Structures are given as C-alpha cells and as structure tokens.
Structure 1
Amino acid sequence: MSLANAYLTLSGAVDADITRGERLAHRTTYRIGGPAAMLAVCHTPAALSRAIEVLGAQGVEWVVMGKGSNLLVSDAGFDGCVIVLGREFSRIEVLAEDNKIVAGAAVPLSRVVTAATKASMSGLEFACGIPGTLGGAVSMDAGTRREWIGRRIESLVVFRPGRGLMRVWGTDVEWGYRWTSLGGADIVLEATLALDPGDRTQITAQMERLLARRRATQPMGKPCCGSVFRNPPGDRGAAQLVEACGLKGYSSGGAQVSDVHANFVVNNGTATAADVLAVMRAMHDRVREATGVDLQPEVKFLGFTS
C-alpha cells in the first residue's frame, strides 16, 4: 500500500480537498474517533472517480462518510482514505408541479424534509429529526418501523467503481429494515423523491407531534449515534430487551446507556470508542443470556481490526 503516492497524485490534481491526519471525531455525531490517514472531499463526479481509481491502484482502503451520524470510529483512527462528497453533491431542486425533490447525497436529510414542507409535499414527515445526509439515509433505508425512505425513491444516481455513473430506479431496489439491495461498493450521488401533495399546516403539525415524541423518548443534548442495535423480530424492540435487563444508566468510562432510551449509548463528554464498545458488549451479552436474542449492531464501525 502506498498512501503517500496516492496523496501526492491526488493533491492539487483533481477538484478535491486532500488532507492527512484529520481527526474523525470532528466528523461524527459521537464526537469520537482517531485520525484518518487521508481524507478526500470530492466536489465532482470526475474527482470522485479519479480518487477511487488512484486509491485502488495504490491499494489504499477507502470508505465514504456523510455526517457520521451512524458511525463509531476507532480510537486509533482509520488507516485508509475517508471520502466525503462535496460541492456538486450538495444541491437540491424542488419540482413543485410534479411533487418531486431532486437532491444530492451530501444534502442533510433535515434540509430535504424542510424543502418538502415548504412546498406542501407530504411523505417525509417520518424523517423529521433523523440526522445525517440524504445519501446515508438512502444507503441504510432510514426510517421508522412503519415508514422508510426507500418507499419514496423514484430513482438514484449511483457511482459504481469500475462501471461509472448509473441511474437506478427505486422499483429495481429491494428496501428492507435498515438494508437495501444496492451493491456494497455503490456510492449514492443523487436521489429523486416522489412525494404527495399535502397541506402545509397539517404536515407541520404532524412533524411537530413526531418531534415532541422524539424529544420525550430519546436523549437530547448528548453526543450519540442513535440506536446502536437493530430491533430484532418479535414484539419487543432492542430498547425494551435492554431495559428489562436493568441496564438503563449502565456505564463504562464516559459511555452510558441512556436513561431516556435504552438502545442509545451516549457520550458523557469523555467517552472513547473502547468505552462505547464495552457498553455495547454488556448490552448484547446480558440480553442474550436473559432471552437468547442475539442483538445485531445498527451502528457501523470504522477502523477496528475485529
């Protein structure tokens, strides 16, 4: 692997901002994580394509990061290149007559929801309060148990390494609970969302109700990544299983199972990634011992060796 060669090749040669050793804690909602060996903010599809080509040729591992809202980064950081989508992927267009929104993957999901509300388009109310970018939301089919963003995707523009830009129709993608059939290397660059005409007052009222419920049932004001485990099949969600084991408030170092929502692990200000992992292991093992349920992580991990 020659990360140095990749850095020298890309620096100043493409429409991208290339840096070394940037601490990833600044780019995650957990505010946890060591440095990336290299970080490339790619502003155009051509820059993205070139960066991936060079990284592949030099044998450098790479990963695409959005707002880091569902990510735990190792305390040691990531010995590869973190790719962030930049300028051309941050555009949004509202097609009011067609009740559609076309937005780049780097656009915050909250901005898409706000644009839909202002245009009196219904269908994204469930997404209010969900952090992260549109690209990240699409890649993991973000949503609730009853509604998810995949149901609103008319089409996607994706970059597929080795094949380039492709348009994928939403009906050709399988959408599941925190899962899609998109290829693991596919990078979502843009999404067209098909929404419904609605009444802005009613849309706003519904969003206010949902936000009030989130504020009452989820920890606010402390860094976290949202739910750390997926809800297993059955009537009881991960939070209920963890709470039944008496783990609300359980802590290790600066990481703690939230007193408000037992499937959230919060950073009390001094947490390391090792602290979060220790808490997650306790949650997982206690639930498995008590119920036999093998909870699966929803949070993604970066920079860990095992």
Structure 2
Amino acid sequence: MSVFNAYMALSGAFEADVLRDERLSHHTTYRIGGPAALMVTAHSYKALLKTIDILRKEGVEWVVMGRGSNILVADEGYDGCVIKLGKEFSRISFEGDTVSAGGGAILSKLVSETISHSLSGLEFCVGIPGTVGGAVSMDAGTRHDWIGSRVHHVVTLRPQGGLQRYEGSDIEWGYRWCSIPTDEIILEATFQLTPAEKRRITDEMERLISRRRSRQPMGKPSCGSVFKNPGDRSVGQLIDSCGLKGYRVGNAEVSTQHANFIVNLGGASASDVIAVMGHVHDAVLEKYSINLQPEVKCLGFDKRRA
C-alpha cells in the first residue's frame, strides 16, 4: 500500500481537494478521532471515479464519510483514505411532488427546502444530522417513520461496476439498514412527497424538534444513539434501569438526559467512549441477558497506523 503515491497522483486531480493527515475530529459530530492518512473531497463524478481508481491501484483502503454523525474514529486515526462527496453531489432539485438530492447533500437542508416547496413527508427527519446518502444507507428516522418509505429511487456507484439504479420498492428497508450493498456509494436519492400547507409542515417540524430537544442532549458532541434497540424494547430505558446515567470514563459520559447517548464533555478520547460502551454493554447483559449491538460505526480500530 502506498498512501504517498496515491497522494501524489491525486494532488493534481481536477475538481478534488486532497489532504494528508487530516484530523477526523474536525469532521465528526463527536469531535473525536485521529488523522486520516488521506482525505479526498470529490466535487464531480469524474473526480470520484479517478480517486477510486487510483486508490485501488495503490492498494489503499478507503471509506466514504458524510458529516460523521454516526461514527467513532480511533485515537490513532485511520490509515486509509476518507472520501467525501463535494459540490456535484450536494445539489437538491424539485420536480412536481418529487425531490432529488445528492448523496452529499445535508439532510437538514433538504428538510428545510421541502417547506418552501410546500411538500410534506420528511418532517420526521428534522433534527437528524448527517447527509442524504448516510440517511438512506441506514434508513434513518424515528420509531414510527423511516426515510426508506419516502424513497422513489436511488442511484449508486458500484466500484468497477458503474452506475446502478434501485427503485425504492425493490430495496429492503430495515431497522438502521437497507439492502443496498455496503460497498456501493449512494450518489443521489429521489423522494416521493405529498403537497401540504406550509404552516402544517412547519408546525409538525417544530413539534418534533421541540420533542428532540427535551429528550436528547443536542447541545453536546455525540454520535446520536450508541446502541440499537433490541426488538421493541427501548435501549435507553434498559441502560437507565441499570443506573448508568452519568456514568463516566475520562470525559465521555452516559447522558443524564438520554441513556443511549454517550456525550463528549470536552476532550474525550475514543478509548474513553469505548470504555463507557463496554461497561454499558456488560451491565445490560448481566441484568437482562441482552447482548446490545452498536449502532455507531467505528473506524480505525481494527489496526493501528503504521
């Protein structure tokens, strides 16, 4: 693997920003994480193809990252390349009752623009951080609404396989996952929405965001929900019943507001978060015999940087 060769080959890439040793704490909502050996922001389809081709030839591992809202990066960082989708993949366009958004478009921006077009259907996404691509890949939503139910079709890039199109009805949607292959990059998603009065849409959004603010620690760095709900049980309630609200290692703490959030009180390390996660997991396993599964994705923990 030659990160240096990849960096040199990509440095002159048209419509791409290339960085070495960029700290990922600057690119995650946790504000945690060491440097990525390489970071490329591809602003066009051509630049994305070139990036993937060069990384493949140089044997450099890569991963696509949106706003880093559901990821914990190791303190040692990531010895591969982080790819971010730039300008061409951030566009949002409306046609009748449908809206198309690039995989790199900010979800909150998409939600706000549906108001100006008097289209209902994505209100439940208000307050959910991240990009459209990330939201689709994990079927983001609430206990009662999921973004997959609004998807008309999705366009992806299959490495060495070209563009793929999936009809929303052909995709399997589940709790925090969908059947789109994980090695494909979501380039664009089109949503089918419903005309509605702007006032009704804004009232519903205000109700939902007020509810989130009252129940979740939105003012502190976190990755959102840490563990998946086991079946129809609330993992937050399970953790709370173990008396773990406020449990702390270093500057990582189980939120006193919502027990399924581990917040960064300032300067927390990834190892602090992992230690808290481990303690929470073991406590719930001991009390309820439930093996909690993480919802947060971890990057850079499988091997240390060379």
Match of 1:166, SS state, is strand
Match of 2:22, SS state, is strand
| Deviation digits for residues 65-124 of structure 1 (CA, Å, limit 9, x no counterpart) | 0000000000000000000001101111122xx211111111110011111112111111
Aligned equivalent of 1:247, options 237, 244, 260? 244
- Aligned residue number for residue 297 of structure 1: 294
Match of 1:279, SS state, is helix
Give yes or no for contact 1:94–1:115 (8 Å, CA) kept in 2.
no
Whichever residue aligns with residue 13 of structure 2, its letter is A
Shift of 1:224: 0.4
User: Does residue 185 in structure 1 map to residue 183 in structure 2?
Assistant: yes
| Deviation digits for residues 145-194 of structure 1 (CA, Å, limit 9, x no counterpart) | 11100111111110000111222211111011101001111100111110
Shift of 1:127: 0.4
Whichever residue aligns with residue 102 of structure 2, its letter is G
Whichever residue aligns with residue 55 of structure 1, its letter is L
Cα distance in 1 for residues equivalent to 2:267 and 2:81: 26
Instruction: Provide TM-score, normalisation by structure 2.
Output: 0.97
Cα distance in 2 for residues equivalent to 1:164 and 1:154: 20
Structure 1's unaligned 5+ residue stretches are none
Q: 5 Å matches for 1:1-306? A: 1-95=1-95, 98-234=96-232, 236-305=233-302
Match of 1:6, SS state, is helix
**How large is the Cα RMSD of the aligned pairs?**
0.9
Give yes or no for contact 1:49–1:164 (8 Å, CA) kept in 2.
no
Whichever residue aligns with residue 234 of structure 2, its letter is G
Shift of 1:10: 1.2
Q: Which moved more, 1:224-233 or 1:159-168?
A: 159-168
Structure 2's unaligned 5+ residue stretches are none
Match of 2:133, SS state, is helix
Give yes or no for contact 1:230–1:295 (8 Å, CA) kept in 2.
yes
Match of 1:94, SS state, is strand
How many pairs were matched up? 303
Whichever residue aligns with residue 280 of structure 1, its letter is M
Instruction: Provide TM-score, normalisation by structure 1.
Output: 0.97
Cα distance in 1 for residues equivalent to 2:85 and 2:218: 27
Cα distance in 2 for residues equivalent to 1:41 and 1:13: 11
Q: Which moved more, 1:113-122 or 1:60-69?
A: 113-122
| Deviation digits for residues 10-39 of structure 1 (CA, Å, limit 9, x no counterpart) | 111332111100000000000000000000
Whichever residue aligns with residue 135 of structure 1, its letter is G
Cα distance in 1 for residues equivalent to 2:144 and 2:131: 21
Give yes or no for contact 2:79–2:300 (8 Å, CA) kept in 1.
yes
Shift of 1:142: 0.3
Cα distance in 2 for residues equivalent to 1:251 and 1:57: 44
Match of 1:110, SS state, is helix
Shift of 1:220: 2.4
Cα distance in 1 for residues equivalent to 2:171 and 2:218: 34
